């Protein structure tokens, strides 16, 4: 008996983790490092004997080399914020990055605003979002130095002119 052409082609399909043995690990190349190295790939191997079926090998486990205890002691950056830390009083009050209804509208007004926003066309909605982001950028750049502010405004005006051409 000879196998059909469909069965002959099945043996030429690429190997995947579902079709291969348990030692086959293709990976997603997320941990790929140019030049390779001995700490790439799986951090252990499957074993047959014993209760644990996967053995982690210390020489294959990836590790992170930190900056050192002296540097961590000197830095003012910490991975946490104390519970009693007061909020910054001098933080700028910026407008919303995306369009939002005014706070004084109340629940009914916000609902009406949401319905009106949902009924907008694609171009009108994009224009509203762009306007809200432009206001956000102007408020953010108001605290910059005068030279940097002038460059930022020049960039925004160039973007606006480019948008009207399209």
Strand pairing partners for 54? 46
Rounded mean pLDDT of 78-99? 72
Give per-residue pLDDT as tens, 112-142: 888 888 888 888 888 888 888 887 777 777 7
- E-only strand ranges, 11-117: 44-46, 54-56
Mean pLDDT of 54-77: 84
Confidence (pTM): 0.31
DSSP state of 90: T
On the question of pLDDT at 151 being above 60, the answer is yes
Residue 87 clears pLDDT 60, i.e. is over it: yes
Apex CA 98: angle with CA 102 and CA 109, to 5°?
Answer: 25
């Amino acid at each position: 008996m000879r196998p059909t052409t469909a069965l002959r082609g099945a043996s030429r399909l690429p190997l995947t983790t579902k079709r291969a043995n348990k030692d086959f690990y293709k990976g997603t190349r997320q941990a790929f490092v140019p030049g390779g190295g001995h700490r790439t790939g799986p951090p252990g191997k499957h074993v047959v004997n014993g209760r644990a079926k996967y053995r982690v090998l210390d020489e294959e486990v990836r590790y992170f080399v930190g900056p050192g205890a002296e540097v961590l002691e000197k830095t003012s950056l910490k991975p946490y914020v104390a519970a009693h830390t007061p909020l910054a009083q001098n933080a700028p009050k910026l407008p919303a990055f995306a369009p939002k209804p005014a706070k004084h509208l109340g629940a009914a007004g916000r609902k009406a605003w949401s319905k009106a926003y949902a009924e907008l066309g694609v171009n009108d909605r994009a224009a509203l979002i762009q306007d809200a982001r432009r206001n956000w950028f102007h408020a953010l750049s108001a605290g910059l130095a005068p030279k940097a502010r002038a460059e930022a405004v020049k960039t925004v005006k160039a973007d606006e002119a480019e948008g009207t051409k399209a």
